[in-house]
């Protein structure tokens, strides 16, 4: 799934990178991170929802979370005292999986 300009703009805003939109590192990495997040969702059993649905909003939030996480963790070494998954990401992903294939969230 190609990263449209509209989706790129919203993703940069979510990542707080709007002012760095022309930075070569941002231009090179954000599309790759987006494609990786889409691939992750597909491999997790979540297809791209139809635009304008409530599933699409949840899907976009999950993609945003994975991209900002990839951006923040792009160094080879991550130093942290405690690392935990965002519980909202897990809840959104679970909801998307539960509603895959025509579930209640139209």
Q: For residue range 24-47, what is the model confidence (pLDDT) as tens digits?
A: 999 999 999 999 999 999 999 999
Helix axes 24-43, 5-14, angle to 10 degrees: 100
Residue 83 confidence (pLDDT)? 63
**Full-model pTM:** 0.81
What are 63-93's pLDDT values in tens digits?
999 999 999 988 877 666 666 777 888 888 8
């Amino acid at each position: 799934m190609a990263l449209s300009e509209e989706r790129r703009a919203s993703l940069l805003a979510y990542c707080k990178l709007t002012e760095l939109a022309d930075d070569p590192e941002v231009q090179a990495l954000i599309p790759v991170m987006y494609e990786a997040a889409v691939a992750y969702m597909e491999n997790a059993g979540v297809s791209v929802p139809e635009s304008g649905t409530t599933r699409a909003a949840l899907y976009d939030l999950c993609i945003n979370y994975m991209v900002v996480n990839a951006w923040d963790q792009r160094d080879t070494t991550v130093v942290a005292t405690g690392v935990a998954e965002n519980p909202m990401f897990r809840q959104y992903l679970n909801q998307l999986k539960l509603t895959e294939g025509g579930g209640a969230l139209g």
